[in-house]
Amino acid sequence: MTERVVLAYSGGLDTSVGIGWIADATGAEVIAVAVDVGQGGEDLEVIRRRALDCGAVEAYVADARDEFATEYCMPALQANALYMDRYPLVSALSRPVIVKHLVRAARQFGATTVAHGCTGKGNDQVRFEVGITSLAPDLRCLAPVRDLALTRDKAIEYANRKALPIETTKHNPFSIDQNVWGRAIETGFLEDIWNGPTKDVYTYTDDPTFPPVADEVTITFEQGVPVAIDGVPVTPLQAIQEMNRRAGAQGVGRIDIVEDRLVGIKSREVYEAPGAMALIAAHQELENVTVEREQARFKRGVEQRWTELVYDGMWFSPLKRSLDTFVADTQRYVSGEVRMVLHGGRATVTGRRSEASLYDFNLATYDTGDTFDQSHAKGFIEIYGLTAKLSAARDVRFGNGVDLGSGALPAAEATADA
């Protein structure tokens, strides 16, 4: 039986050429797999037909938008996932859902190898291959660009020679990856980190310099997941799409960062993630109201490690799975409403309320009705500071007290002392 290779297929030049390139180099039959995670562009049926026209023996296509939003974006939202405190894992989140469908197709069509279009210097090769072998250790991985020397000029020449139904003359200076959670832009003149992004870089967001009238929005959450916007029920996918539209119109979610890649190099990346950034800001503020202090403090460390694991391609790892359990438990009471104003590139929280709130007005107020017993404070401070006080006394006893400086006292203090 002829060996089969499953190829992650986007419908573009490199993966279209990759179908024949892999077949010529390995003698294997190629099954193209296209997964819609909200990247827009062409219809899945058009992509399926093109894959077959380019030589694929089978074409597997999947509308995974709801799956991606619910099973991947929502856990990231609950974890407030921001790599280097800024990047909401736009590309990293989409890879495991694509991997899942690649492995499913490999099993369905009896393939022994899974191929992808990544280069040898990026993060995605790791995300694809570690993900694939985590789900199916018996499958082999192949990267035509990295392993079979499929360069862009060779791809164009091959496509023209084989008369493949794919555009080969259009040149885009940027490398772009996008899905419903956001959009990633790199290469071209952006590789000079002194160059500022030009207007043509952006698609998901309007220029925040000239914003329309401020937009007020109320987001309802249940256990850390948005379930309504301005009182209208939404699915996770609809919540992201609606916030992409409204926050994007205000220029919210533009990110320009020099990022630490997994492979050890620094890379300049520009992102647009209006819906993701607005939803994360709202979710963080609702957690401030509903999550107990020590749990919240510990969760911040878990969030960072969770984010690093996902960025590094370890979505299916045992540690990530364990951290999922902790994050999910913290969301038990993260239900309520957050009001935000979207304007001029900012998503600003202006109100929050929850039946599970830990905020007690009567404890917090300084006005009449204050129920906080201030007489307890003195004893609390004495006990709280006791270990520091004892340590300081020991330091003084051994001549290691804090140096308060030897300069002359200010004139007013010297006079008072005298």
Dist CA 97 CA 69 (whole Å): 10
| Per-residue pLDDT tens over the stretch 197-245 | 999 999 999 999 999 999 999 999 999 999 999 999 999 999 999 999 9
176-291+333-359: CATH topology is Argininosuccinate synthetase, chain A, domain 2 (3.90.1260)
231 marked as binding residue: no
Dist CA 252 CA 246 (whole Å): 9
Classified as helix, coil or strand, 165 is coil
14 marked as binding residue: yes
311 marked as binding residue: no
Dist CA 306 CA 300 (whole Å): 10
Cα dihedral value 395, 397, 403, 404, nearest 10 = 110
Mean pLDDT of 344-371: 94
Domain ranges of the chain: 4-171, 176-291+333-359, 362-397
pLDDT at 409: 61
pLDDT at 151: 86
10 marked as binding residue: yes
117 marked as binding residue: yes
Q: Do domains 4-171 and 362-397 have the same CATH topology?
A: no
> What φ, ψ does residue 102 adopt, rounded to 5°?
-65, -45
pLDDT confidence band for 354 (50 / 70 / 90): very high
| Per-residue pLDDT tens over the stretch 139-185 | 999 999 899 888 888 988 999 998 998 876 656 678 899 999 999 99
DSSP H or E stretch at residue 93: helix 90-109
CATH of domain 4-171: 3.40.50.620
218 marked as binding residue: no
| Per-residue pLDDT tens over the stretch 300-315 | 999 999 999 999 999 9
Looking up tokens 């191929």, which residue turns up?
Answer: 115
pLDDT at 417 over 70: no
Active site residues: 14, 95, 124, 175
Give, in words, the CATH class of 362-397. Answer: mainly alpha
pLDDT at 98 over 70: yes
360 marked as binding residue: no
pLDDT at 17: 94
pLDDT at 119: 87
Classified as helix, coil or strand, 136 is coil
pLDDT confidence band for 418 (50 / 70 / 90): very low
| Per-residue pLDDT tens over the stretch 100-143 | 999 999 999 999 999 999 988 889 999 999 999 999 999 999 99
Predicted structure pTM score: 0.92
